[in-house]
Amino acid sequence: MRTTITHQSAWDTKAYASITSAAYHAGALTVGFEDGSEVVVDSKQLVPWHLPNPDWTAVRWDSHEIVAPSAAGDFAVPWDVVRRLTDPAFAAYWADMAVNEARAIGLRLTELRQNKGLTIEEVAARAGSTPAALTGQEAGEAGISLRAIEDLLAVIGESLDALAVPDEDPIDE
Amino acid sequence: MVRVVQQGRFSVYVYVETGGRHNLPHCHLRWSDGESQIALPSLRLLNGSVPPAAARDLLEAFRDELTVAWIALNPERPIK
């Protein structure tokens, strides 16, 4: 059993995570939260490059997200993205959690590969990668997408299911 | 944004990921009086309220669907 949260941080509170207003002006969105804070974020930071720009002048919101229409349909930005872009402490927390996840996935990949009796060199060759790249990924040091992980798992005869650690309850009180 | 699961009082959403250089696959679990963010595919609690036991079972049951939805929306985003 694992305890992820040992004390309540600001971002675990409803007030920190609840949007109460959103307005667009001159390329920036001003977003208000239930805790009384108001943050300003560059609208360009909210949309991946490959998606059409939403019409932020028509922005609407509920407590969880801000939404604007675009040529590809409504585009929604959840509260945590706004907070990560405007609260360095939350961004740092998120970065730590991302590192922890990458390491945990890397450890599990190592375990699964070894269970199959495969070497790093063998898996790298089958995956069209290099031993150095795979070593970094198993160490959680090299950025790897979930799609790439799925491909690696396929190479060793596993699927995403296998990333779950047996008998582990990841959410604990 | 895609709602992947709607069951009873629980809904689970996955979004196109933006915002900063650090990236962490996750979903948003919402219920009548709480919300939490859950890492994918590990299902570790990232922040927010501790989900009720029924929600944990739901997440387990839909782990694959949630992960696949995240990949579809964020195909090239590395975990870092």
Pick from A17, A82, A164: CB nearest B41 = A164
Picking from A60, A86, A112, the residue at the C-terminal end of a domain is A86
Q: Region B29-46: what's the mean pLDDT?
A: 91
The interface residues of chain B toward chain A in range 41-80, judged by CB-CB distance below 8 A, are 41-51, 56, 59, 63-64, 67-68, 70-71, 74-80
pLDDT at B42 over 90: no
Q: Which sequence spans correspond to the domains of chain B? A: 2-53+67-73
Q: How many CB atoms lie within 10 A of CB A6?
A: 6
Where residue B80 falls among pLDDT bands split at 50, 70, 90?
low
Q: Write out residues in chain A with pLDDT < 50, as ranges.
A: 1-5, 172-173
Provide the number of structural domains found in chain A.
Answer: 2
Q: Do A135 and A75 reside in the same domain of the chain?
A: no
In a domain, A5, yes or no: no
The closest alpha carbon to A39, from A48, A30, A47, A50, belongs to A30
In a domain, A44, yes or no: yes
Residues B43, A170 contacting (CB under 8 angstroms): yes
For the domain that residue A44 is a member of, what is the CATH number?
A: 3.30.2020
| Residue span of the structural domain in which A134 resides | 89-163
Q: Do A27 and A58 reside in the same domain of the chain?
A: yes
pLDDT at site B78: 65
Q: Do A15 and A79 reside in the same domain of the chain?
A: yes
Where residue B18 falls among pLDDT bands split at 50, 70, 90?
confident
Q: What is the ipTM of this complex?
A: 0.88
How far A76 CA sits from the closest chain B CA (Å)? 6
A13-32 tens-digit pLDDT = 999 999 999 999 999 999 99
Higher-scoring residue by pLDDT: B74, A20:
A20
**Chain B residues within 8 A of A82 when measuring between CB atoms:** 19
For the domain that residue A130 is a member of, what is the CATH number?
A: 1.10.260.40
